[in-house]
């Protein structure tokens, strides 16, 4: 999660105002997502770096909002 926040900080040029809390009950520590069908049906493998994805999102957001 901190990598995700850092990517946003870089893209918008501001530090996030964070208050670190103890781990919450809803925090997902890992996932068992199965992307086999996605690979099989669409020949898709997610390989985009988080920084690139955040950059595209920020550009889209700034354009429309």
State the number of CA atoms in the 13 A half-sphere of 11 facing the CB.
19
The structure tokens listed for 5 are 């926040």
Residue bearing tokens 């103890």? 22
Q: For the chain, what are the domain ranges?
A: 1-9+48-65
pLDDT score of 17: 96
pLDDT score of 32: 81
pLDDT score of 60: 96
Residue 30 buriedness (CB in 10 A; 0-12 / 13-18 / 19+): exposed
pLDDT in tens, 1-23: 889 999 999 999 999 999 988 88
Residue bearing tokens 């009950």? 25
Whether residue 1 contacts residue 51, with contact meaning beta carbons closer than 8 Å, is answered with: no
pLDDT in tens, 22-63: 888 887 778 888 889 999 999 988 788 999 999 999 999 999
């Amino acid at each position: 999660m901190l990598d995700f926040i850092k990517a946003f900080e870089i893209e918008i040029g501001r530090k996030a105002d964070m208050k670190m809390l103890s781990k919450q009950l809803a925090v997902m520590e890992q996932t068992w997502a199965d992307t086999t069908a996605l690979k099989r049906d669409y020949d898709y493998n997610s390989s985009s770096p988080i920084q690139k994805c955040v950059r595209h999102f920020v550009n889209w957001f700034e354009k429309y909002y």
